[in-house]
Amino acid sequence: MPDGVQITKELSIEEFLSQTYEFFKRDFMKYFTVYVVVEAIIGVVATIATASIGITKLPPSPTASQVLSADLSAIAKQELVTGLLALILGTIAVGTTIKMASEAIEGRQTDLQAGVRFTTSKILRIWVLGLLVGVIVLLGLIALIVPGIILAIMLCLAIPVLLIEGKGITESMTRSRKLVGGRWLKTFAFFFVLGVIVAVIGIIGSLIGDLFGPGRTIATDLISALYSPIVPVGLTVYYYSNVARLTPPAQPQQAWTQPSTAAPGMKFCPSCGNQLGAGAMFCSKCGARQPS
């Protein structure tokens, strides 16, 4: 574990939530900037796509007649454009948040621009890893639901491993399984609690957004940008909690001190302390040349 890491032991649920909040609060404006820019770009592109394709956007809760009268093929094109953009920018936002949270936990200065560049350079690997994890979890859910939940828990730290440790795709999945090994129930509890908190905030944000009438979409996007970074920050905190659990505590190095006296006709190697004959030119243990 790097020097200066601020999570040095396995965290309890209370400590996990507290640390997640502290690191989220520490660089809140940077996280918010990432997500609000993403929401703004997606909103602008969606508006341009809607205007260029020439469709009337459906309201949030369309009636049956409104759906039947709409140009569904044009709507599908618009949704495809905005969906692809959301995938690209959403990946960058999540990856950048994990990268910055990692820097904060390791006691380094967070760098927003460097985080964006780093995540962009890894975006294809993130997509492939995310696709593999998604397919594996989906197959598990189709099988008996419970295996899917177990697989989701097992692979939940794969993306932080890829971004923080720089491992390959399959190595990241293996490492994630090792990190949460023996902590299946605890991992489920961590993310269940975090998910409930985020869901409640999201519901409240949606209700607040409804108060803005025509400006509902903008208000909802801004509110979403306020709390969306919580999940990737929490994921990063939990990654370091498990790394600390599996990392043996560093043993203090004790400096060797040469005994005050040696047996007659003997001397001690100044490098390792090995007892040698008085005429030895090299240490038989460490190979160091001996003073004449």
148-174 tens-digit pLDDT: 888 999 999 999 999 999 999 999 999
pLDDT at residue 24 tops 90:
yes
For 16-34, what is the mean pLDDT? 93
Q: Which residues of 20-50 are buried (b: 16+ CB within 10 A; e: fewer)?
A: beebbebbeebbbebbbebbeebeebbeebb
Structure pTM? 0.76
Residue pair 123/91 in contact (Cβ under 8 Å)? The answer is: yes
For 28-50, what is the mean pLDDT? 85
- Counting beta carbons within 10 angstroms of the beta carbon of residue 261, is it exposed (0 to 12), middle (13 to 18) or buried (19 or more)? exposed
pLDDT at 29: 94
Q: Measure Cα distances from 243 to 127, 153, 180, 239, 240 in Å.
A: 24, 16, 9, 6, 5
110-114, 155-159, 274-278: least confident range: 274-278
Q: What is the mean pLDDT of the chain?
A: 83
**DSSP states along 93-162:** HHHHHHHHHHHHHTT----HHHHHHHHHHTHHHHHHHHHHHHHHHHHHHHHHSHHHHHHHHHTTTHHHHH
For 105-127, what is the mean pLDDT? 92
pLDDT at 1: 53
